[in-house]
Amino acid sequence: MASFILRRAEPKDVSDILRLIKELAKFEEMEEKVILTEKELLEDGFGDHPFYHCLVAEVPKEQKLFILLKFNSRCSLPGYTVIGFAMYYFTYDPWIGKLLYLEDFFIMQEFRGLGIGSDILKRLSETAVKTRCSSMHFIVAENNTKSIEFYKRRGAADLSSEEGWRLFEIEKADLLKMTSK
Amino acid sequence: MDYKLRKAEPKDVSDILRLVKELAKYEEMEHQVTLTEKELLEDGFGDTPFYHCVIAETQGESSRDDPRVVGFAMYYFTYDPWVGKQLYLEEFYVMDECRGLGIGSEILRHLSDLAMKTRCTGMMFVVAENNEPSLQFYKRRGAEDLSQEEGWRLFRFDKDSLVKMATPAEE
């Protein structure tokens, strides 16, 4: 069976991270919205003050061809060994303290069903418990039933349903309007 | 009433906790606040701050009066993989008797300045769907309801679920 490793992302991984961010955005039909650059990912993730953390899933180069053939994949992109990632950071709940926030979580289609996603979630859970976080939060699109099932099977609660929270955003143009008043 | 805004300092943790509890009380959830002053101090003023606070303080009737902390905003930075850094507004509260004086607007303006200075692409926050006054306050300033427009739902794994998913501790 294919083996894979999970490890913390390093500066050299930023191009793979950006590639996977774009693949996930493409899956959501939003690829043109990704304007982040490798340079920003590098500064923001590997500078003095990281604004995010990443776990990457890698398959050994020799294994990759075996997996692609076994799963009859039409993926013809040689040389990639990073095939999945999770991006997270720490947030703060004023009632209970530190939380782990799962921002992005994606495994390339050809590598699904191998337990990589479950392993990533396991690793994140360990990180959360070790850093004394009270819980892990994340958002899911309401029409993404597969993901909702994946998370609910593992005990996730839908806070939008249970507690009526609605997510808001004030974009740059409106922030600027407020700064000049 | 004269007031000023400033960055929170370690000495402010007891006022911050007081206001956190007042806001929770307003939402009828006061007993759910289990955070302590000690945790607020470690988590906000240690090597790696997990949150930041801006405080609104009134001067008092005369120069002999102690200043009073009457409002606060708690925020931190998050990361959107499409556009980068965001400012996340976690908590925002002005004491009842100090409302309608523009303190809330000033706090939002201060946060907007900060977001621009730190090159954030937006500010995000959640609002309870039945909180009409807050919904209006934010919508007036251009906030969009992403839950409505994009169908996002907020999920949580609580500690029990995390422990179940994590590797069991060594015996």
Looking at residue A76, what is its pLDDT?
A: 46
Domain extent listing, chain A: 5-179
Catalytic residue set of B:
138
Per-residue pLDDT in tens (0 to 9) along chain A, 181 residues: 458 899 999 999 999 999 999 999 998 888 899 999 999 999 999 998 899 999 999 987 766 666 566 555 544 445 558 999 999 999 999 998 999 999 999 999 989 999 999 999 989 988 988 898 888 888 888 888 888 888 888 888 888 777 766 666 666 677 666 665 5
Q: What dihedral do alpha carbons B122, A128, B160, A140 form, nearest 10°?
A: 30
The residue behind tokens 């409302």 is: B99
Confidence band (pLDDT; 50, 70, 90) for B69? very high
Mean local confidence (pLDDT), B104-115: 89
**Residue B122 lies inside a defined structural domain of this protein:** yes
**Residue B171 lies inside a defined structural domain of this protein:** no
**Residue B76 lies inside a defined structural domain of this protein:** yes
CATH code of the domain covering residue B58: 3.40.630.30
Which residue in A129, A139, A169 is closest to B162 by CB distance?
A129
CA triplet A150, B84, A9: central angle to 5 degrees? Answer: 65
Q: What is the ipTM of this complex?
A: 0.83
B138 and A93: CB-CB below 8 Å? Answer: no
What one-character-per-residue DSSP string does A81-122 give? -EEEEEEEEEEEETTTEEEEEEEEEEE-GGGTTSSHHHHHHH
- Class of the CATH-defined domain A5-179: alpha beta
User: How many angstroms away from the CA of B63 is the closest CA of chain A?
Assistant: 30
A159 and B160: CB-CB below 8 Å? Answer: no
Q: Fill in the amino acid letter for B143.
A: A
Helix axis angle for A38-46 and A14-27, nearest 10°, is 120
Q: How many domains does chain B have?
A: 1
**What is the pTM (predicted TM-score) of this model?**
0.84
Nearest to A112 by CA among A59, A53, A54, A34: A59
Looking at residue A69, what is its pLDDT?
A: 63
Which residue in A33, A129, A142 is closest to B151 by CB distance?
A142
Q: Does A52 touch chain B (CB under 8 A)?
A: yes
End-to-end CA distance of chain B: 61
Looking at residue A155, what is its pLDDT?
A: 82
Domain of residue B85, residue span: 3-166
Nearest to A120 by CA among A1, A2, A3, A8: A8
Report whether pLDDT(B57) > 50: yes
**Residue B7 lies inside a defined structural domain of this protein:** yes
SS3 content of chain A, % helix, strand, coil (to 5): 45, 25, 30
Report whether pLDDT(B82) > 80: yes
Q: Fill in the amino acid letter for B128.
A: A
User: What are B114-129's pLDDT values in tens digits?
Assistant: 988 898 888 888 888 8
Say how many CB pairs under 8 Å bridge A and B: 242
Report whether pLDDT(B61) > 80: no
Looking at residue A1, what is its pLDDT?
A: 47
> What does the alpha-carbon distance between residue A155 and residue A139 come to, in Å, rounded to a whole number?
15
Instruction: List, edge to edge, every strand of the sheet that includes B3-7.
Output: B3-7, B52-58, B68-80, B84-94, B122-128, A165-171, B144-145
